[in-house]
Structure 1
Amino acid sequence: MRVRSVKDITIKNVIPRAALPGGEVVIEYSGWDLAGTSQPEVRFGDFSAQVTMASNDHIIAKVPEPSSETGTSELIVTRNGHTSRPFPYEVGKKLASNLHPVANPAIDSEGNTYATYSGRRGQKTPVSIYKITPRAAVTPFATDIMNATGLAFSLTGDLFVSSRFEGNVYRVSPSGHTETFIEGMGIATGIAFDRDGNLYVGDRSGSIFKINAGKEIFVFATLEPSIAAYHLAFGFDDYLYVNGPTTSSFDSIYRISPSGEVDRFFTGLGRPQGLAFDIEGGLYTVASYRGRRGIFRFREPKKPELIVAGLSLVGLAFDLNENLMVVDSGSVYRVRLGITGKPLP
């Protein structure tokens, strides 16, 4: 077929604004009418992407795995010998691998990131928690916690860790010393602190426990059980937000009032995991929604917006430098979004 016109290829936009390996991005372009000609080539820096669909105004491509080794890169499109100008695009940079996170990472006051090597249920791993510095130096931080799961920092700067195997929550000092804080939390998964220093623990069997400073335990709320883990975060409204995948493909983010009343913030997500808030009150979660997978932002309760494309993601947390730290089932990534996170708790 004869090409009716060929102009310079211009990339107009890429949706979403950032991605991780395996994530699908939509490249909007202009400058040619090439129906019936060869498949375009898409490259993120030096790495070629898999093109899953191409039309005369947009292309869908998967971010190649090696691109995360270098992070932020330039995207180009080539077709029939014509190449676009480079389009700056944010691919998250891999900071650490060979981990096993099952919930949000945690960030300390110095900007270090903490992530677990949780292991299979009942598996004792040599290291339970790793510390990753902003310069991507990875060191063991805590050991001897069976199936380390949820992570959260207290107001005093100690790291608290749940064990889904033992049902305990541990307190880990800044030097890495570990002690048992509370026992009997069922299948203890996600944890979070409120502004008064009360600790909340998600027992994925269906309960959210509240533990006060005197270590008194209350059943704060009951929810539908999760097949994996509950993920917890407090909003500026002092409501506790909770999600976790169930047997349904139409899951909810729950919103629990300070008195323990439960309602649904949003329903319709597939396998929601991880929760975080930005400084403006936007809520971020890992999920699938209407065929797209990655991290979605809710500026309004009924309007999820894909902000980072990615696969097999399990948790997220904002650092101190307007980056989103994201974990999948084996690695930690830094995604430069230029968004300030909500101060914790």
Structure 2
Amino acid sequence: MKKGVFGFGLVLLVLGACKKDKTEIVKEPLKVTDYYPNSGNEGTLVTVEGTGFSSNPSAVSATFSGTPADVVSATPNAVVLRAPQKGSTGEIVMKVNGETLNIGRYTYQELSVRRISPANGAAGAHIRISGAGFSSLKGPAEVLINGKASVVVSASDTLLVVEVPVAVGTGPVKVKVDGKEAAGQIFKYQAIASISPLTGGKGTQVRVIGEGFEELAEGNYVDFNGKQALVKEASGTSLLVVAPAEVGTGPLSITINKQKVTGPVFTVVPPPVIETVSPLSGPGGSVMTIVGTTFSLIPEENKVSINGHIIPVTTASATKLTLMLPGNTGNGKVIVTVNDQVVQGPEFKDQSLGINSLSPENGLAGTHVTITGTGFNANAAQNTVTFNGLPASVISATETTIVVKAPIGLSTGLIKVVNNGAEAISPVVFSRAGVLTIAGGPGNKDLDISSFRTGSMAIDRQGNIFVLEVEKSRIKKINPQGVVTLFAGSPTGERGNKNGRGTEALFNFGANPGMDIDANDNLFISDGNLSVRKVSPQGEVSNFAIGFGNINKLAFDDRGILYVLGSFNGAWRINSEGLRTAINVNSMADGCRPVIVGNMIYKLNNENFYIDTYNLTTTQNLISVIGGSYGHVDGVGRTVAFASISGMAADNDGNLLVADGGNLAIRKVNLKTKEVTTLAKFTKGGTVDGSLTEAKVGNIGDVIVDKAGDIYFIDTNNNAIRKIFLK
């Protein structure tokens, strides 16, 4: 019994398998989509297009107004009929496997539209209409595409060439001659209305909206500025395409049946960049801010996910996105996708503890920093705060703010808050940056540098700073610990012209002397004795070059050549042997040292608020100007405004640092792009040290840069040498 049951079950399984393996054939519906021409003489070939026809001509029959017609050929999608002899104007009726189809009216006449080529195209394209009976003695043939009059470019009895009108749409081509009318096949109008997005890169999916597209994806050839793209989806009015790997900025085009239509420009932009995410932890309801570059101005084109959860973007600009945290996302990476270009950011923690901001974001040891966020402990002692791993003392706390003192030994890095086992990381690093007085100050007697204009400094390889005391014609040395000693010149301030070691030597500085240092730590000073004096690292003073007129600021290039500016007297370059040659530089304004980078010399213009650039290898030296108006405006080239330039120096990256004394600011010039940005802008008043936002200065004179990239400046109003930390 069991064996019989098993056998019956096996038969059912086999039958079931056979049934599943059988391919089901779906019959296309019998339908007519177009026929042409709709007029002509006996013998004219008429094409009927549609679906569900037969490939067997014997299965197809037709009549023209009741008169049988020959079936010339047949496929499932097209049947060609011959208009019968002795036929009459009337309806065409076709039968396929016994089913009857009413095709449409056929008129026996000389006028006939037999073929159009191409049968698709864009506005402005020329199409050829082949047929008969186009000539007339009464007037030219009229052509309508989809009912809209079209311009006839050329005409003969059997051929018309017309231009496709704008926005003509899809419809039949009709020709009218002497009151007669003939219709041909349907012309498919192609146009691109829009593409979205308009920006992106390789892999960006672009939706193309328009008309006249092919329903099958492979029938549409799409290119981005000549590079073929993949078509993922297609309909008559919409395509979804993927930008190719080698995509470049340029128009998107579609080619169908060799007819091309061009759409808007697709602009290639770099993938997005995430600079900061704030907060990096927090509860639902918090606002997250993502700062970076190359975001889309259209919020919907920016997709943000945390741990795989998509979160809608609330506001969007090119550099900032904001969104509301929904909560319950779990911990995971912050990922930003802009038009299918993806960037991965830091990890976000879904918890109550989070840091939103720091104020200030830079400072030195002892700076009071306010940390704003959520989930802090109102008991200050229960919050543990570290600066780049170094513990800091907590001054006060609430659930949303903590005030701490930056610790001694501070270095640039992230701030971390720990409360009840949870920890939060600051969205930005806290930078060891600010202003510190190295030597001098109001009432200090170590230095006497307050009674001259911009002053002049130099720094050697060991970090010793040298500064000119102009009124007393001598050089002071400040070691890295801030100890000030007399390096060369008279202890009493006596003037003269005497070589010797240290305090034995005498100088006679003018009102605005210059100083620079070579690669071997030798100082070179412009002296009022119409000479350039050299001071060795041991303090030995000698004459390097003599016989000048009045000379002021000077500077070395990176090849060891010294450039000397002489106000109205000219300018020179001097090699290591003391051989000098004149250079073609307008040197009247030499209130601050020039800077030489490569073959270019950058110097203060006579009006003191912009910089002239000279090419030292050409006869026509002045090639560009940085700045050009008075004020404080960052920008590029002549769009920049300075107030009063008091010092210049090259930084370690080949940029130009400018002491804008009139604005109490340090400005940076990218010498490749001529872009000017403000690194720091101070408040006037006293010698307050601290963060870049808290520090106060009296004035900014000469500037120099050490090997670590820190900046020193002369604060003439406060008789001080001050140091700016930027890292």
TM-score bracket relative to the smaller structure: 0.5 to 0.7
Greater mean deviation of Cα atoms: 202-211 or 266-275: 202-211
CA distance in structure 1 between the aligned counterparts of 2:669 and 2:615, rounded to whole angstroms: 19
Deviation at 1:12, TM superposition (A): 4.8
> What residue is the counterpart of 1:234 in the other structure?
596
CA distance in structure 2 between the aligned counterparts of 1:111 and 1:288, rounded to whole angstroms: 24
CA distance in structure 1 between the aligned counterparts of 2:666 and 2:529, rounded to whole angstroms: 30
Report whether the alignment pairs 1:293 with 2:659. Answer: no
Unaligned runs of 5+ in 2: 1-355, 374-392, 396-400, 407-429, 441-446, 490-505, 628-640, 683-696
| Alignment match of 1:141 (pick from 487, 496, 518) | 487
CA distance in structure 2 between the aligned counterparts of 1:187 and 1:29, rounded to whole angstroms: 56
CA distance in structure 1 between the aligned counterparts of 2:360 and 2:572, rounded to whole angstroms: 42
Report whether the alignment pairs 1:269 with 2:642. Answer: yes
CA contact 1:296–1:306 (8 Å) conserved in 2: yes
Deviation at 1:29, TM superposition (A): 11
- Residues 311/14 of structure 1: CA separation in 2 closer, same or farther (3 Å cut): farther
CA contact 2:571–2:587 (8 Å) conserved in 1: no
CA distance in structure 2 between the aligned counterparts of 1:171 and 1:142, rounded to whole angstroms: 11
Q: Could you list the per-position Cα deviations for residues 173-192 of structure 1 after superposition, in whole angstroms to 9, with x for gaps in the alignment? A: 11111111122433322211
| Alignment match of 1:92 (pick from 425, 432, 435) | 435
CA contact 2:474–2:488 (8 Å) conserved in 1: yes
Return the letter of the residue paired with 2:595: A
CA contact 1:111–1:133 (8 Å) conserved in 2: yes
How many residues align structurally? Answer: 264
> What residue is the counterpart of 2:532 in the other structure?
169
Deviation at 1:141, TM superposition (A): 0.7
| Alignment match of 1:322 (pick from 696, 703, 709) | 709
CA distance in structure 1 between the aligned counterparts of 2:434 and 2:659, rounded to whole angstroms: 17
Q: Could you list the per-position Cα deviations for residues 268-324 of structure 1 after superposition, in whole angstroms to 9, with x for gaps in the alignment? A: 3222121112222221111157xx422111234133324252442111111233321
Q: Could you list the per-position Cα deviations for residues 139-175 of structure 1 after superposition, in whole angstroms to 9, with x for gaps in the alignment? A: 1111122227211112333111112x33321000111
Q: Could you list the per-position Cα deviations for residues 227-259 of structure 1 after superposition, in whole angstroms to 9, with x for gaps in the alignment? A: x62411222x34222126x4x36x221222232
Deviation at 1:214, TM superposition (A): 4.0
> What residue is the counterpart of 2:613 in the other structure?
255
CA distance in structure 2 between the aligned counterparts of 1:280 and 1:115, rounded to whole angstroms: 24
Q: Could you list the per-position Cα deviations for residues 34-81 of structure 1 after superposition, in whole angstroms to 9, with x for gaps in the alignment? A: xxxxxxxxxxxxxxxxxxxxxxxxxxxxxxxxxxxxxxxx9x9xxxxx
**Secondary structure of the structure 2 residue equivalent to 1:205:** helix
Within a 5 Å distance, the mapping from 1:29-40 to structure 2 comes to none
| Alignment match of 2:563 (pick from 200, 205, 211) | 200
TM-score by length of 2: 0.33
CA contact 2:599–2:617 (8 Å) conserved in 1: no
CA distance in structure 1 between the aligned counterparts of 2:567 and 2:677, rounded to whole angstroms: 25
| Alignment match of 1:111 (pick from 437, 452, 463) | 463
CA contact 1:266–1:301 (8 Å) conserved in 2: yes
| Alignment match of 1:303 (pick from 676, 679, 690) | 676
Report whether the alignment pairs 1:313 with 2:700. Answer: yes
CA contact 1:296–1:307 (8 Å) conserved in 2: yes
CA distance in structure 2 between the aligned counterparts of 1:222 and 1:28, rounded to whole angstroms: 51
Within a 5 Å distance, the mapping from 1:2-151 to structure 2 comes to 12=358, 90-97=433-440, 98-100=447-449, 102-119=454-471, 125=472, 128-143=474-489, 144-147=506-509, 149-151=513-515
CA distance in structure 2 between the aligned counterparts of 1:206 and 1:223, rounded to whole angstroms: 10
CA distance in structure 2 between the aligned counterparts of 1:302 and 1:314, rounded to whole angstroms: 22
**Secondary structure of the structure 1 residue equivalent to 2:552:** strand
CA distance in structure 2 between the aligned counterparts of 1:12 and 1:273, rounded to whole angstroms: 33
Return the letter of the residue paired with 1:296: R
Report whether the alignment pairs 1:182 with 2:545. Answer: yes
Deviation at 1:95, TM superposition (A): 1.7
Unaligned runs of 5+ in 1: 1-9, 20-26, 32-73, 77-81, 120-124, 339-345
Return the letter of the residue paired with 2:622: V
Higher percent of residues as helix: 2
- Residues 11/117 of structure 1: CA separation in 2 closer, same or farther (3 Å cut): farther
CA contact 1:103–1:151 (8 Å) conserved in 2: no
- Residues 308/320 of structure 1: CA separation in 2 closer, same or farther (3 Å cut): farther
TM-score by length of 1: 0.65
Return the letter of the residue paired with 1:273: S
Larger Rg: 2
CA contact 1:18–1:307 (8 Å) conserved in 2: no
> What residue is the counterpart of 2:721 in the other structure?
332
CA distance in structure 1 between the aligned counterparts of 2:402 and 2:559, rounded to whole angstroms: 57
CA distance in structure 2 between the aligned counterparts of 1:229 and 1:303, rounded to whole angstroms: 21
CA distance in structure 1 between the aligned counterparts of 2:704 and 2:611, rounded to whole angstroms: 17
Kindly indicate whether structure 1 or structure 2 has the higher relative contact order, using CA contacts under 8 Å at least 6 residues apart.
Answer: 1
